[in-house]
Amino acid sequence: MMFKGYSIRNLMLWVLWMGLSLPVMAASNQASTPQVTATLISSHSHIAPGEQIILGIKLDILPHWHTYWRNPGDSGTVTTIGWKFSQPVEAGDVVWPLPDRFKMGPIVNYGYENSVTLPTPLKLPADLKPGKPLKVQAVVDWLVCKEECIPQQVVLSLDLPVVAAGQGQKTAAPDIDLALERQPAKVSWPVRLQGSDGSLTLLVDAPELADSAVKDIWFYPYEWGKIAQSHEQVVTKTATGIAIELHAGDMPLQPGEALEGVLIAKEQSTETSGYLLNPKLQTVTESSPAETGTDSLLLAIFLAFAGGMVLNLMPCVFPVLSIKALSLISHSSLGRGELIRQGLVYTLGVVVSFVALALVLVLLKAGGAQVGWGFQFQSAWFVFLMTYLMFTVGLNLSGVFTIGGGISGVGSHLADKPGYWGSFFTGVLATIVATPCTAPFMAAALGFALARPAPELIVIFISLGLGLAFPYLLLTSWPGLQKVLPKPGIWMEYTKQFFAFPMYAAAVWLVWVLAQQQGELAVVLVLSGFVLIALAAWIYAISRGASSTRLKFANAGVVLVVGLAIGLVTLLAETPTEALPDKQAKSLKQNWQPYSAEKLESLLAEGKPVFLNFTAAWCISCLVNEKVALSQPEVVQAFEQQGITYLKGDWTNKDAEITKILTKFGRSGVPLYVFYPAGHAGKPIELPQILTPASVLSHIQP
């Protein structure tokens, strides 16, 4: 090594300087610097050949100063011990007790305050000679820092009497015992480390870590550079344990490389537990069926099925299916086989639609898009067409027009077989109108599905479709159930007409969604579209049974008018989204601020309590929760009193930033409510998807 400037003069300067900062060179088992008192202690008062003993270096540190762990963090230096023995004995490595962490500005360090004992195991050789004591010398180097840092060195020595084999004597060494207690435990929890593009997620399937008593969780890596230690480690609860967000450091892990370190969980009661983890990095696309197990897949399939059944009761789905059920009653004279076939075709329609949705999701995912459930509502086009659909179905139910034999016509055409296409498209329609209603059951299953490889995603979606189709299929294939249904009559017509109103209500809601997404212009356009559609329906209705020339004109009119309605949508697609910035400007007067990852990070860094609400105009349960819980005076007041910053993320339109944080919490859609308690150590608490003022208050209790 080239080293030109290393002169005698400099060496002398150095000796002088080291001499000043190192007042201690005594042949004793204890030595002190102004900041640290070091003591060499032994687990045994008398040692014998072949035994294992433990030597400890106890450091008593001045308050507010600290020494460092095996990985000191962003700065600092690990404490080292150089051993010398009068007989050939080999010392093991220091077994490091659980460290603390210290944050100074942007720098995070790992180490010890007040007092720590560093134990070193010693395997005594079988040929250790009894009689003469074993002379032990330890040269201990540490860096002690408050804000400024001082490197220090002491030399400690200890004589240990050597006795005959088997006659060794232990001595009370509570400091060593304590240090050996404060060790990370080996655990058998399933642990995964997933990552891409510098962001890593450490998933630990340990429900005890998700316990509310655990107040602070931090992962301490053994090596520098694998993760950026100064980055806030955001911990979230998952269904099976916790997820910790980490960031890659300056020497990032390669796929397959292990990240060894200690996970430390502190409880309210100041109880501290450490766990040794050593997960290998998987890239996100890599699947790991062995580790997640089939259980969770089966559970997801079951939940999807149950969620699908619940969808039947959703306000938009129920009318569509009721009509279908009514037509079934009308067809009660049909043969049993025919009925079952109708049910199966309907089921096929539902399942095909769900598979199509799953394939779209798979493609979008493959293209790298950030997608979540309800994503289709982020397209103005989709919402527009859905609005028209709801309105048109409503007009149909109201009897403004009928298609083909129509439902109202079935009474007089009992002999007609209802078309299979009709059943198939009822299935498709049921799926389309069901998509915005993410039943609580489905949130978990869909979140799981979106994170899984394509085949599993498709299986879960099929299960969801089967769930949706199941009640109707049951009805068509179970004659006993059909007998329970009331007899046909005029009440059917009234029921059908009544069901038009939920459809109109759904259309109104969608118009409002459009207003949120696209602004006032969209409202005018979509309402004009309604007029055109109503006009088309009317032309269509009056021209039924007309002569062929008039029918031609009428059909041309319908096509023209519907074309105009669609044309309005195109016009809208040209206008950029303007609503959002305006809304955010208004929000300054509200008690919430728009969400951004940076804002959240800076608030958390300041240790402020934060309440997150992720919502979308098309998410009904989100809006209900806001109305009945989050905007209630007692909740608003509690937020104010506790100084909670209320951040709201609007997912009405596409927003990659929000999709990212939803994914972090294992969600694929809204709503999501999270509370970060005050203090840097605060672990985020997820609130249920259905809120009441009381439930919100109970979660944000300090």
Q: Which of 460, 441, 440 is nearest to 449 (CA)?
A: 460
**416/569 Cα distance (integer angstroms):** 38
Q: Mark the segment that binds another protein (CB under 8 A) among 145-153, 162-170, 294-302, 587-595.
A: 145-153
**Closest of 113, 118, 276 to residue 186, by C-alpha:** 276
Applying CB under 8 A, which part among 101-109, 301-309, 346-354, 642-650 lies near another protein?
A: 101-109
Q: Which is nearer to another protein, 232 or 338 (CB)?
A: 232
Q: What distance, in Å, lies between the first and last C-alpha atoms of the chain?
A: 59
- Binding status of residue 17 toward another protein by CB under 8 A: yes
Task: Tell me if 3 contacts another protein by CB under 8 A.
Answer: yes
Within 577-596, which residues bind another protein (CB under 8 A)? 578
Helix axes 289-311, 454-477, angle to 10 degrees: 30
C-alpha distances in angstroms, 157 versus 41, 134, 135, 611, 661?
A: 10, 10, 7, 56, 55
- Of the pair 177, 223, the CB lying nearest another protein is at 223
Token pair for residue 544? 């039924």
Record the tokens describing residue 239, joined without a space.
């269904």
SS3 per-residue string spanning 541-599: HHCCCCCHHHHHHHHHHHHHHHHHHHHHHHHHHHCCCCHHHHHHHHHCCCCEEECCHHH
Enumerate the β-bridge partners of residue 25.
none
Indicate whether 14 belongs to the interface with another protein (CB under 8 A).
yes
Residue 77 interacts with another protein (CB under 8 A): yes or no: yes
Is 481 near another protein (CB under 8 A)? Answer: no
Cα atoms found within 13 Å of the Cα of residue 598, Cβ hemisphere only: 0
Question: Where does this chain touch another protein (CB under 8 A) — which range of 15-23, 369-377, 468-476, 562-570?
Answer: 15-23
Choose, by CB under 8 A, the member of 335, 337, 480, 576 that binds another protein.
Answer: 576
Cβ 260 to another protein, closest distance in Å? 16
Q: What is the dihedral of CA 630, 636, 637, 643, to 10 degrees?
A: 110
Q: Which is nearer to another protein, 2 or 172 (CB)?
A: 2
Choose the binding region for another protein from 71-79, 111-119, 370-378, 484-492 (rule: CB under 8 A).
Answer: 71-79
CA 566 to chain centre: 39
In whole angstroms, the minimum distance from the beta carbon of 62 to another protein comes to: 17
Q: Which of the stretches 115-123, 147-155, 272-280, 306-314 binds another protein when contact is defined by CB under 8 A? A: 147-155
Q: Which is nearer to another protein, 329 or 521 (CB)?
A: 521
Residue 13 interacts with another protein (CB under 8 A): yes or no: yes
By CB under 8 A, the residues from 238 to 267 that bind another protein are 250-251
φ, ψ at 242 (rounded to 5°): -135, 160
Residue 19 engages another protein in binding (rule: CB under 8 A): no
Range in contact with another protein (rule: CB under 8 A) among 73-81, 359-367, 590-598, 608-616: 73-81
Is residue 196 at the binding interface for another protein, with CB under 8 A as the rule? no
Instruction: Select from 85, 189, 224, 512 the one that contacts another protein (CB under 8 A).
Output: 224
Candidates 127, 148, 181, 598: give the one binding another protein (CB under 8 A): 148
Q: Does 113 bind another protein (CB under 8 A)?
A: no
Using CB under 8 A, pick the residue from 62, 149, 451, 541 that binds another protein: 149
Instruction: Check binding of 109 to another protein (CB under 8 A).
Output: yes
Q: Exactly one of 23, 34, 82, 151 binds another protein (CB under 8 A); which one?
A: 151
Q: Cα torsion at 6, 8, 14, 17 (round to 10°)?
A: -150
654: three-class secondary structure by DSSP: coil
Which window, 70-78, 255-263, 388-396, 530-538, contacts another protein (CB under 8 A)?
Answer: 70-78
How many residues in the shown chain lie near another protein by CB under 8 A? 39
Rounded Cα–Cα distance for residues 415 and 99 (Å):
82
How far apart are CB 577 and another protein at their closest, in Å?
10
Nearer to another protein, 127 or 148 (CB): 148
Buried b / exposed e along 207-244 (16+ C-beta atoms within 10 A): eebbeeebbbbbbbbbeeebbbbbbbbbbbbbebbbbb
Instruction: Identify which of residues 11 and 624 has a Cβ nearer to another protein in the complex.
Output: 11
Judged by CB under 8 A, the residue of 55, 134, 143, 156 near another protein is 143
Show the 3-state SS of 345-392: HHHHHHHHHHHHHHHHHHHHHHCCCCCCCCHHHHCHHHHHHHHHHHHH
| Interface positions, 513-572, toward another protein (CB under 8 A) | none
Q: What is the C-alpha separation between 163 and 131, in angstroms, rounded?
A: 6
**Residue written as tokens 């004279």?**
333
> Which region among 84-92, 140-148, 277-285, 488-496 touches another protein (by CB under 8 A)?
140-148
Phi, psi for residue 116 in degrees, rounded to 5: -150, 145
- Contact residues for another protein (CB under 8 A)? 1-7, 10-11, 13-14, 17-18, 21, 74-78, 104-107, 109, 141, 143, 145, 147-151, 224-225, 230, 250-251, 576, 578
